[in-house]
Amino acid sequence: MNRHRHFIFHVILWLLIWATAWIFSGDEVGFVSDNGLSLVFQILAISVLIYYTAPKLLLKKKYILFTLVSILTIIVVTFVLTNITPSPMIVGGPLNGPPGPVPGPMKGEGSGMVPPMEMNRRPPLKFFINLLLISIAYVIATLIETFLFIQRKDEEIIINKNEALQTELKLLKSQINPHFLFNALNNIYALSAIDSSRTQQSISYLSDMLRYVLYECDHEIVPLQKEVDYIENYVKLFSLKSSKSYPITTKFHIEAPSINIAPMILIPFVENALKHSNIEKITGTFVHIKLHADSKMIDFEIENSKPSSIIVKDGVGGIGIENVKKRLAILYPDSHQLTINETSELFKVNLKLELHGQY
């Protein structure tokens, strides 16, 4: 179907070109009779290109064969056109007029008339004019077909990239959600062994968290307040593991409820801080979470203490921060700044997301 559309486009293009030349020719009948066949054979050459040489040779990168077949096509079409076009008179007066006397005697004749052989001879110039016309039409059609092919490939590349990005995002989300669910269930399990009366409260927090994960995270963006609510529920669920008060501080300031963010961007940093800060020790440990958001930027900061020795909590690890780095590269390629500072006693993350009014 695309081939037919391309062919119709070229036919209309050359009809417009010849119509313009006809308008400015001044001799309407003579112009049509002299050049009508040229238009027909130009279209014939273009049809060979559209339906054969371009799709079979050019677009399949068979450049040498395409060049040879194209040259042969142009020469054959030009030869046929030249031999079926009426021959104009070039001697003895106007074109297509009766033969006139030639000044001076000609060899073998004394009447001054053009010999029949000379009168019927086709001028070589006619072949080259037809060759030029056919070649111009063929080359222009080739350039247009090449341009359309490149444009179509660019569109396919963009579509494929978008599909790949969406697939990768879905994969990353599928890695995140079970990870958080796994940790939340571990927390509830630990709580049930300590104080069964608070288990119901922890299940309520988990219910809200799962509602967010299952029904909100399928969207490309979510209200920032819902992401913050998820963080608060996660911290509350974590804090219920012990009757002691964990040294965790939170400070959230969102200037407008319309501020949005990609879901599950911030929580991996919170989960990482709680997991590796040794916060259960309480003495000498801490986790500080701060967030400030306005219409231009989201500024998120979290810092946690570091134990003197590495603590392995469970076999699940390595997904969180690396995962969110990949998501940031996809969702905020030129509008995020992630800074991670680590010392022997402190691990600090600062994430700035420039909104540029898109959320």
Domain extent listing, the chain: 2-156, 195-354
Contacts of 338 (CB under 8 A, 6+ apart): 325, 328, 349, 350, 351
Residue 116: count of CB within 10 angstroms of its CB = 9
Within 85-123, where are the H helices?
116-120
Q: What is the DSSP letter of 113?
A: P
Output the CA torsion 337→338→342→345 (10° steps): 100
- Tens-binned pLDDT, residue by residue, of the chain (359 aa): 577 888 888 888 888 887 777 776 666 666 666 667 778 888 888 888 888 888 888 888 888 998 999 899 889 988 888 887 655 433 333 444 444 444 444 444 444 444 554 444 555 678 888 888 888 888 988 898 888 888 888 888 877 777 776 666 566 565 555 666 776 787 778 777 777 777 888 888 888 888 887 787 778 889 999 999 999 988 988 887 777 889 999 999 999 888 999 888 898 899 889 888 888 888 889 999 999 999 899 999 999 999 877 655 554 444 568 878 888 888 898 899 999 999 988 999 999 999 875 54
What are the backbone angles phi and psi of residue 146, rounded to the nearest 5°? -65, -45
Give Cα 170 to chain centroid, integer Å: 19
Distance CA 75, CA 127 (A): 10
Closest CA to 231 of 322, 332, 300, 325: 300
Please tell me the pTM assigned to this model: 0.54
Q: Residue 35 to residues 68, 131, 255: CA-CA distances in angstroms?
A: 27, 13, 74
CATH class as words, domain 195-354: alpha beta
